[in-house]
């Protein structure tokens, strides 16, 4: 098993999503002692947002400058790392109703025609199937328990759409919700999240 462990929270040691992704990976390693882990911290090593310099991998335009070659190399490294993984463990905190911009930048780099999806006569088709994704979803408020909250949520829904678009349909969530609503709510959210990890890891293993 090859695991790709991705963190994107900017809050460092105070991050709940980092705590949860670390717990998921540790449990996976205990269940699979020979597992290899690639770690990607997007707050330390995030790709730049798409620009005229970095869009070459989507347009098929040949790199003509050193800056373009460097950006193409980053895109290639990220998509190759993603395709090599059997399990992706992703920390996706809830920032302004969606995911962190650095995580969005990662999705923009790995969503590559001909590598992770292709266009067909009947529409796009994912090429990166067969992977298991476990997402540590953390939120300061409660969004899953009301119709209004679900309408405002573009975090888990976005992650699911992007992975499905690339052919990855086995996406599960370790959710810690309401962590900004006081100490008791935070403790309860963490307890619930950690309790769900064992079941998800058993399936992934």
For 141-164, what is each residue's pLDDT tens digit? Answer: 999 988 988 999 999 999 999 999
Q: Any idea which residue has 């730049």 for tokens? A: 48
Q: Are 180 and 95 in contact (CB under 8 A)?
A: no
H-run or E-run covering 177: strand 170-177
For the whole model, what pTM was predicted?
A: 0.93
pLDDT confidence tier of residue 198, bands split at 50, 70 and 90: confident
Q: What is the CATH number of domain 2-204?
A: 3.40.50.360
pLDDT confidence tier of residue 203, bands split at 50, 70 and 90: low
d(CA 73, CA 63): 10
- CA dihedral sign, ordered 66, 68, 69, 73: positive
- pLDDT number for residue 204: 58
CB atoms within 10 A of CB 9: 24
For 13-39, what is each residue's pLDDT tens digit? Answer: 999 999 999 999 999 999 999 999 999
Radius of gyration (Cα) for the chain, nearest Å? 17
Domain spans in the chain, listed from the N-terminal domain onward: 2-204
pLDDT confidence tier of residue 138, bands split at 50, 70 and 90: very high
């Amino acid at each position: 098993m090859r695991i790709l462990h991705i963190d994107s929270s900017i809050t460092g040691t105070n991050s709940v999503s980092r705590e949860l992704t670390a717990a998921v990976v540790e449990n996976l390693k205990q269940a699979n002692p020979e597992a290899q882990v690639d770690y990607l911290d997007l707050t330390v090593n995030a790709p730049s947002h798409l620009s005229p310099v970095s869009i070459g991998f989507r347009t098929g335009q040949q790199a003509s400058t050193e800056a373009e070659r460097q950006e193409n190399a980053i895109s290639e490294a990220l998509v190759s790392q993603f395709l090599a993984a059997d399990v992706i463990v992703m920390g996706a905190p809830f920032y302004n109703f969606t995911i962190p911009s650095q995580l969005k930048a990662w999705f923009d780099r790995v969503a590559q025609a001909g590598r992770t999806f292709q266009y067909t006569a009947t529409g796009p088709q994912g090429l990166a199937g067969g992977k298991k994704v476990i997402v540590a979803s953390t939120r300061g408020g409660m969004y899953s328990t009301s119709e209004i909250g679900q309408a405002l949520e573009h975090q888990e829904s976005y992650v699911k759409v992007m992975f499905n678009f690339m052919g990855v349909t086995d996406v599960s969530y370790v959710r810690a919700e309401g962590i900004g609503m006081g100490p008791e709510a935070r403790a309860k959210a963490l307890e619930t999240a950690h309790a769900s990890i064992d079941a998800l890891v058993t399936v992934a293993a």
